Structure 1
Amino acid sequence: MRSIVDFAPDDVILDRAAILGSQGIPGDADLTDNFERIYSEAIDLYQELAQPAGIVSGITISRFEEVFRGEGRNEPANPVEDIFRRSGYLALFAVTLGAVLSSRVTELFNNGDYASGYMLDSVSSFAADKLTDLAAAYLKLELTDKDPAASSWRVLGYSPGYCGWHISGQKKLFEVLRPDETGITLNESCLMSPIKTVSGVLIAGPGEIHEFVNSYPFCDTCRAKSCIGRMRNL
């Protein structure tokens, strides 16, 4: 299964509290009129400029072993390897908000409008992460159509640069996925373009396969700690 998936900006539910929280601002904070204006303008720009799209491509466990191995720089012990070996289905993915929105963020910073640039960057980063959830929902629907038993599965995304999967893993992932038909590219430094892009593997299976104790050595330096909330919602 290999599919190009188009989303609408409205498909992403923008969480005001989470977006403000990423800037260290409590979601229930009493904001100034100017700050409210900046936030509202960022939302409007997102709705106007975002061109969310992605690609989802099924892959066997044996083939993904090669992708995951990459350049051999992964952490010796990591949760992703344990999880994908117990999966019911795997799919590589890449999702993006498109080049236009990313360019506007850069333009705002270049013009010295740092407050607006930072706010639009926060909105865009939140939306890009949520595109992974939309890709996961798309895959689950496809799997359930073929086998109703998959309706009880959980599909979660894992990306190079997190959970012990070295960022250089992007190279092998892009070599196999070939997402350039969606306008997504990778440079020699493993940076994706457009900037607001997420790639990785979607792992589908019973919810319990995604559970692990976040006590790996690299967990101490992880700033996201998103695994905690994800496991809580299994």
Structure 2
Amino acid sequence: MKKTALITGASRGIGRAIAIELAKNGYHLALFCHSNIDMLNALAEELHANYKIEVYTYQGDVADYGFTIPACEDALDKLGQIDVLVNNAGIAHIGLLTDMSVDEWDNVINTNLSSVFYTSKAVAPSMVSRRAGNIINISSMWGTVGASCEVAYSASKGGVNSFTKAFAKELAPNGVAVNAITCGVVDTDMNGQLSPEEKAELAEEIPVGRFCDPGEIAQTVLSIINAPSYMTGQIIGVDGGYI
């Protein structure tokens, strides 16, 4: 039986790792990116060649419903169905809240939280009609406990966590699971602004003693997909014991 997935923020980091992991497991893919379309297309060609799957790519801003909803609808049309929706796209903003502009605030909230609404609104009805599906939201431990100088990011991810719990209750009677992964410090470009010394100091604070590899988040996504459908509305921490 054909298996399909739609992944946002798929050109690099966690999203790229998830795309590779699902491709290895036979999923046909719709991959979204904001600007790295050449990188995404190269990944799509590689996955198609290696795993003989269909891969469709989309470039645009998931913070813009005028792009996101039509793109999701096109992916649904091309793939025939979406079994798994992975909301991974996200941006960070570091600085004092009082120094943050309204536009910067809106950009973080719309990219990290509103995009989850847009994709879910576009894809969930088809899952409900088939009484099957998985929505997996990539969140952050800061959405649970908050981080100084990352108020907008923390607020957006806290919103993702609450969205996950609430939407899971809406969709549970229709056999659709909604869960979130609260990531710890993952070794991606988002943490690229840290110096080697800062990374070493941060790693010492993590009980496991290292950053998370993006592939470990991808493996967690697959484990959620393969979990019993009774598991829904869960906020699953993958943070090396940090919180």
TM-score under structure 1 length normalisation: 0.29
Instruction: Return the structure number with greater relative CO, CA threshold 8 A, min gap 6.
Output: 1
Whichever of the two has the greater Rg, that structure is 1
